[in-house]
Chains A and B, each alone.
Chain A
Amino acid sequence: MRLAARSRAEGGIFYGFGFALSGLRVFILIAIWQTLVEGGAEVATYSFVALATYTILAEVFAEPLAARTELRDTIWNGSIVGRTLQPVGLVGTYTAEAFGRWSLRFMTFGPIALGLGAATGHLMAPRSPLPVVLLSLVLAVTVGLAIEFIFGSIIIGTRSNVWVIEQLRGATAVLLSGQMIPLALLPWGLGDVLRWSPFASVASAPLTLYVGTSAAIGTLALQTFWAVTLWLIAGWAWARSRTRLSALGG
């Protein structure tokens, strides 16, 4: 974990530009919510402050809510082969490295965004008990990592192009998971359908629990269901794909 965090930090202050860009994204989305929610009205049970809080937290926790590891890069450049020669589990290694990388964002961007949000009145206190929200976050990361390894297995097993699958997943997951736009704000009842998907358990679940637009028991139960189911699938798929592992690069 420490190695991964340090490796990211050794890029120097230029790494912080990514944070500045994240901040800009938050600012703009909050302005959009202001346009939609005029005069203190609510939109699909979301007040303006709730939407602003949702956006800030989605950005601060963007990396764990996306649950991306080095898996796709190492598959693509072939270095996954070298990792199979290490006397440690692959899943554990990738997960630990991911936590290391995420920790840098928590230590730098997180406090600034949360502090500014609170100071400007755009960050509300959690509407659900904090332990519940934290448990949901842990489950979200668990589900996210399971999806990550399932996709990794698909790439290895089908020898498909890494980048196409990953970019498709990345682009659609932000929308399907409710990370950018709360699912309740989507038209045609899409949100009602998507909230049952595993993607929603990765991002929408903890965020909606925090702002109080979802029920704790139902949300946690659904996340637990997906965590168990997907990890069973991930375990099976990963074991199968290990025997078909071939470096796609290098």
Chain B
Amino acid sequence: MGTVVSVSDVHKTYRQRRPAKDIRGTLRALLRPPVETVQALAGVTFGVDAAEIVACAGPNGAGKSTLIKVLTGLLVPDRGIIRSLGVNPTGDRARYVGRIGVVFGQRTELWWDQPISASFEWRRVVWNISQDTYGRMLPIVCRTLGLDETWNTLARELSLGQRMRADLGLALLHEPEILFLDEPTLGLDVLAKRSILRLLKQINREQGTTIFVTSHDMGDLEQLAARAILINRGRIAFDGSFQQLRRAHGSQRRITIESPVATPPAIDAAHLVESRGEFHTYQYDAQRTPIQALLDTFAISAPIVDVESHPVPIDDVFADIYEGWQSEARVRSVPSPSPDRTASAVPDGSRGERDRPD
């Protein structure tokens, strides 16, 4: 299995027009609008192997959408080299996009005033999908994504979740070699999410489709992908497995204790995250504090009915990381005589060993 996507030292800068503050500024802006430069990607380098599933995450404005756009050929980077399926995405655009599938969560490819069936027929013709492939993929896609019930429904009458499923079905119809997904589970209910994730893993396993996905739903990403790339301010802040990400963040775990006390006791080595009725959740560092010690401390003050230990939800891990980055940015932006950099949970530029899928 070789590398199908290679990104090398890619930079991308935007110039954005700033709104004027007053009437005079507005009239002046008619002739010379004020602009601001934004660095969306600053020296991004990584590779993706065939049949790999890579999750890309980062706070809003980190550069994820820009990255997807340069990978799908919608944007030319200012500097750097991108090779995907052996070609420059913008160089041979028409042929390249025929080999990939792209789903942007907020943008439907369906024809608004047409039933889904018509959009699929349109797709078959425009993508020049053979009858064999169409005949094979259509039932799979319809069954797995539950499109049968809405097959003859107009796109404008579909819910967001139904539209998303149809869009994903469109993207899979021509058996793409790489699938680029930007927020694919946006607006979906739990069952729909599960079926989509199952389908994505299935096509990855059976057809060797490489998948590159961005999302704010970290739980989905962790279920789907073996590898995570974190982007912060246009740079890769982390590239490795989710386990490595957790380790880099610290060996935080949570323990939920069921105990019939209204006010849970304070524990030195842990902090109370949540208390709901008889269920009290604490977060602690598993490397420093053995769970037995925690339970012993709790038991002194209150009886224990049941215990559940689990890792910190990945959403909270990411939230802590983003918060750390934001505090760093605030510290850097405030001039001080002796700059004191707050250590981020994940140091910028850290690289974990990539766990290669079996």
Contacts and interface: CB of A to CB of B under 8 A. Distances in A.
Interface of A: 2, 5-6, 9-10, 12-13, 15-16, 249
Given A6-B20, A10-B19, A16 B30 contact: yes
Contact of B30 (A2, A12, A249): A12
B27 A9 contact: yes
B156 A9 contact: no
Contacts of A6: 19-20, 23, 26
B156 A10 contact: no
A10 B28 CA distance: 10
Interface string B14-32: 0001011001001101110
B180 to A, nearest CB: 26
Contact of B29 (A2, A10, A16, A249): A10
Contacts of A13: 30-31
Interface in B265-314: none
B86 interface: no
Contacts of A5: 26
Contacts, number: 25
B250 interface: no
Contacts of A10: 17, 19-20, 26, 29, 33
Nearest to A107: B27
Nearest to A15: B30
Contact of A12 (B23, B29, B156): B29
A100 to B, nearest CB: 12
B26 A249 contact: no
Interface string B317-339: 00000000000000000000000
A170 to B, nearest CB: 22
9 contacts: A2-B23, A5-B26, A6-B20, A9-B30, A10-B29, A12-B33, A13-B30, A16-B30, A249-B156
Please classify the interface of chain B as helix (H, G, I), strand (E, B), loop, or mixed, using the class held by over half of its residues. helix
Contacts of B29: 9-10, 12
B113 to A, nearest CB: 10
Interface of B: 17, 19-20, 23, 26-27, 29-31, 33, 156
A136 B273 CA distance: 68
Contacts of B30: 9, 12-13, 15-16
Most buried by A among B19, B20, B30, B156: B30
B110 to A, nearest CB: 14
Contacts of B23: 2, 6
A9 B19 CA distance: 10
A6 B17 CA distance: 14
Given A5-B26, A12-B17, A12-B29, 10 more contacts: A2-B23, A6-B20, A6-B26, A9-B30, A10-B17, A10-B19, A13-B30, A13-B31, A16-B30, A249-B156
- The list of the 6 closest CB pairs from A to B, nearest first, reads A9-B26, A6-B26, A13-B30, A12-B33, A10-B19, A12-B30
Contacts of B20: 6, 10
B258 to A, nearest CB: 42
Nearest to B33: A12
A12 B33 CA distance: 7
Contacts of B156: 249
A146 B21 CA distance: 34
A73 to B, nearest CB: 16
A12 B31 CA distance: 7
Contacts of B33: 10, 12
A9 B28 CA distance: 10
A217 to B, nearest CB: 40
A11 to B, nearest CB: 9
Nearest to B21: A6
A13 B17 CA distance: 13
A10 B20 CA distance: 8
Contacts of A2: 23
A2 B156 CA distance: 34
Contacts of B27: 9
B255 to A, nearest CB: 43
